[in-house]
Structure 1
Amino acid sequence: MVGSNRARKLGKRFIMLDSALVVAGFNVVFPIIGLHFVDQLGWAAASVGLALGVRQVSQQGLALFGGSLTDRFGGKPLIVLGMLLRASGFALMGFAATPLQLMVSLILSGLGGSLFDPARGALVVKLVRPAERPRFYSRMLMQETAAAVLGALLGTFLLDFDFRWTAMAGCFLFLLAALANALLLPSYRTSTPGTGALAAMRMPLRDKPFLILVLTLSGYYVLQTQLMLAVPVLLMQLSGSAKSVAWMYGMEAVMAVTLLYPMARLAERHFGLESRLMTGVGVMAISIGTLSLARGTLGVFAGVAVFYLGGLFADPAREALVARYAQARARASYIGLSRFGLALGGLFGYTTTGYLMDRARAIGMPALPWLVLSSIGMATVLALVWQFTPRAKLRLEKMVS
């Protein structure tokens, strides 16, 4: 028992270190893509949005496949290989001169994520006991937010010199993460022995309540993706400086570090996971709609601050809800399939918002993207209410049976 507890403790510490490197490496590059290719190079927002959406599908859409391989072969080889693929994608992105080249580099980056992300998520479910998960996710999200901001600050700083420096910094961080996993990560099994890849893949696909939750959460991810595309572009247009985007991520870090864990502790005492998720998504939907009224950077920052508050309330609950479904025989497959909502939401969020941004500019209606996004968020809340109220749960159980 003592050895098991020590292994859990060491494993959780490594997960925290690993997540900091991964999130920092991702955010060195991704928040900068829209600024560089749309604002600096003048590419159409729709073409950049399409490339980002295809990356989302290549990663999250194939995560079930990556998760099933993890359940069969263990997490370490999938994590190391996936991080090396992500690093090579970032290296290629630094030299992308056409939308097609950008898309190829993003697909390669996404394929890497489809291998390492389900494995990392399954390790959390394996090593963290159910009662501890909401608090652990809160602490991890705090750290990830700080790492994301540091990454975004580094990315915007390097962008002043050349985007290639930004891309290479992200490449280096993922190479470092791959090395750390290769040398330090024990060869944990993420599922009970004897689970074949196909059998592990079928288990979450047959879990209808889980599937419905995954599809519903695609609306949540439509909102989240705007922090990578629409919001940075809006701030750049209003302020004329990429530094405003860095300040936005700095605000997110301060809010996460100071508010996330206290909010999670308070919410545990007064709200269930379902209520926290629905409330958080509702706040995000309303706040993103207020950006249609923003006429300066101060208004954008106010709307984004409220948006972050909604996310701080919803994110730990969302992670814990997904983990609740994951069965021991196919943990990584469940985590992989849970990313399918992110694939749908990311593809729709990036491509549709990119089109709406171009269309809004053409017809002189800047509020259009934000009003559509707000409507999607409110529809997501209604879908969650349908699933989570006691009467809706009873209807869902009858439908499944």
Structure 2
Amino acid sequence: MPIPSQARKTGKTILLVDNLFIVLGFYVVFPLVSTHFVSQIGWSALFVGFALGFRQFVQQGFGLIGGAIADRFGAKPMIITGMLLRAVGFASMALALEPWILLLSCLLSALGGLLFDPPRMGLAIKFTRPHERGQFISLLMIQDNAGAVIGALIGGWLIDYDFQLVCWLGAVVFFSCALFNMIYLPPYHIALGKAPIINGMKMVLQDKKFTSYVWSLTGYYILWVQVMLMLPLTVAKVSGSPSYVKWMYAIQAVISLTLLYPLARWSEKRFRLDQRLKFGLLLMTLGFIIIAFVSELYLLFILIALFYFGAIIAEPARETLSTMLANPKAKGSYMGFSRLGLALGGFIGYTGAGWLYDIAFDIDLPKLPWFVLTAIGIITLLYLQYLFRDKPPIKREIMNKIN
């Protein structure tokens, strides 16, 4: 049954408000995890990278299960439960004086995201028509960047006092988000009908076009997750203080708030989605190879700006492709599976980069992680070129499939 226009408008408003605070709460805490436990506490970058990658892998790698559960039982209970788990995870991180407590807090945070992330993206599909979906996703990403910089600025200010304050604030934000959804989010179902959980999972796994696209993004995410590991560590090292990390996210916010939406609107009329994704990834890769040779803070920030510029070109195209390819009979399952590339890329990116960071320090070769990351970016570009070879314009092809 079609959703009335007013219900769509209300639903999109709820998602926008909810999304802003989810992103803010996350970025208050996680950009500072690596700098706190590696630079301030003295734990190995390999272990901290493993903990971050473990969270990423659990949340995204099992997203198919979370999405299938949401297809069966509805979005609201999954979103509320997930946000409460994320709040508990952040509270336990405030008490992480031993490595196992950090792992536990990352696990709780991951389980929370596993439950609330796929149904939220399923609702984004439910509330938007195909022709407006790309624009709405661009708005969500603008919010992502605004929330990221606000959260990072608050976290960067609080960490000068106590990392525990950072974690407790993140917990309060997610607890408040759970209350907001409990009060305002109607009990929407995101799938067409209530098929058994296994049916939605089978539907995704049999969709070869969708699964091939998802697996292709592993390399892209290996680069992307460095905003939580290598880039903050490099900024802290070059500047001499972890508090400078907040300016990295300020750059991200300025670029996104001023350029993301108009650039997405302009490019979607002129280029295929896969072309936008590949060009954005190319700029991200170029930024990384040059960072290897930079030791001045202002030059580092310029290259980080280049990385983010590539990201705002690639991200709307990547997410729009995922939503356009999703079968409406199992939106949650599709959105859950779409995170598998992030699961693998995040785990490899965090753990592998942390391992390379430690090795580079031991052998006095600081450029090593950046060389490897650049090679991964180039390989991913070549694979995406192969995947979309001799294809008609992706946007037109998907629209025909939907209609």
Question: What residue is the counterpart of 1:396 in the other structure?
Answer: none
Q: Partner residue of 2:168? A: 168
Q: TM-score scaled to structure 1, two decimals?
A: 0.96
- Inter-partner Cα distance in structure 1 for 2:194 and 2:112: 26
- What is the distance in 1 between the residues matched to 2:131 and 2:321? 12
Deviation, structure 1 residue 353: 0.2
The corresponding residue for 1:92 is 92
| Matches of 2:378 and 2:40, distance apart in 1 | 34
Q: Any conservation in 1 of the 2:55–2:110 contact (CA below 8 Å)?
A: yes
Partner Cα separation in structure 2 for residue 58 and residue 271 of structure 1: 34
Q: What is the CA-CA distance between 1:241 and the residue it aligns to?
A: 1.6
2:239/2:297 contact within 8 Å kept:
yes
Q: Shift of residue 3 of structure 1?
A: 7.1
The DSSP-based 3-state class of the residue aligned with 1:293 is coil
Q: State the partner residue of 1:335.
A: 335
Please, which runs of 5 or more residues in structure 1 have no aligned partner?
Answer: 394-401
Corresponding residue number in structure 2 for 1:291 = 291
Cα distance in 2 for partners of 1:97, 1:55 equals 18
CA distance in 2, matches of 1:308, 1:194: 40
Deviates more, 1:286-295 or 1:339-348: 286-295
Three-state SS of the structure 1 residue aligned to 2:217 is helix
Deviation at 1:209?
1.5
Distance 2:44 2:3 in 1: 56
Q: Quote the Cα distance in structure 2 between the aligned partners of 1:308 and 1:337.
A: 25
User: Residues of 2 paired with 1:367 and 1:97: CA distance?
Assistant: 31
Matched-pair contact (CA < 8 Å) for 2:160–2:243: no
The whole-number CA distance in structure 2 between the counterparts of 1:328 and 1:135 is 19
SS at match of 1:390: coil
On the 8 A contact 1:386/1:392 being kept in 2, the answer is: no
Q: Residue 66 of structure 1 aligns with which residue?
A: 66
- Provide closer, same or farther for how the CA distance between residues 255 and 391 of structure 1 changes in structure 2, counting only shifts above 3 A: closer
Mapping of residues 36-47 of structure 1, within 5 Å: 36-47=36-47
How far 1:391 moved relative to its partner? 6.0
Kindly indicate whether the alpha-carbon contact (under 8 Å) linking 2:326 and 2:334 is maintained by their aligned counterparts in 1: yes
d(CA) in 1 for partners of 2:18 and 2:203?
A: 28
- Checking the alignment, whether the CA contact within 8 Å between 2:96 and 2:102 is kept in structure 1 is yes
Match of 1:103 in 2: 103
Please give the alpha-carbon distance, in whole angstroms, between the structure 1 residues aligned to 2:368 and 2:32.
23
CA deviation after TM superposition for structure 1 residue 134, in Å? 1.2
Provide the residue aligned with 2:16 in structure 1.
Answer: 16
**Using the alignment, how far apart are the partners of 2:380 and 2:221 within structure 1?**
10
Letter in 1 for 2:161: F
Q: Distance in 2 between matches of 1:377 and 1:126?
A: 33
Counterpart amino acid of 1:14? I
State the 1:27 CA deviation.
0.4
Matched with 2:225 is 225
One-letter amino acid matched to 2:389: T
> How far does the alpha carbon of each residue in 1:147-198 deviate from its partner, in whole angstroms, 9 at most, with x for none?
1110011111111111110000000000010000111001111000132111
In structure 2, what residue type is equivalent to 1:28?
V
- Asked whether 1:347 is paired with 2:347, we answer yes
> What is the DSSP-based 3-state SS (H/G/I as helix, E as strand, rest coil) of the residue aligned with 2:187?
coil
Query: Who is 2:400 aligned against?
Result: none
Distance 2:94 2:201 in 1: 35
SS at match of 1:270: coil
> How far apart are residue 242 of structure 1 and its match?
2.2
State the AA in 1 paired with 2:322.
Answer: V
TM-score by length of 2: 0.96
Aligned-pair CA distance for 1:144: 1.4
**CA gap 1:267/1:141 in 2 versus in 1, 3 angstroms:** same
* Structure 1 residue 2 displacement after superposition: 10
- Aligned-pair identity in percent equals 45
For the residue of structure 2 that corresponds to 1:164, the secondary structure is helix
Cross-structure match for 1:264: 264
Q: Secondary structure at the match of 1:187?
A: coil
Does 2:364 match 1:389?
A: no
Asked if the contact 2:156–2:244 (Cα under 8 Å) also holds between the matched residues in 1, the reply is no
Once the two structures are superposed, the pairs formed by residues 199-348 of structure 1 within 5 Å of their partners are 199-348=199-348
| Greater alpha carbon shift after TM alignment, 239-248 vs 146-155 | 239-248
Q: Aligned letter for 1:220? A: Y
Q: Which residue of 1 aligns with 2:397?
A: none
CA–CA separation in structure 1 for the residues paired with 2:257 and 2:201? 37
Superposed CA RMSD in Å reads: 1.4
Query: Are 1:24 and 1:147, in contact at CA under 8 Å, matched by a contact in 2?
Result: yes
Find the aligned partners of 1:279 and 1:344 in 2 and give their Cα distance. 22
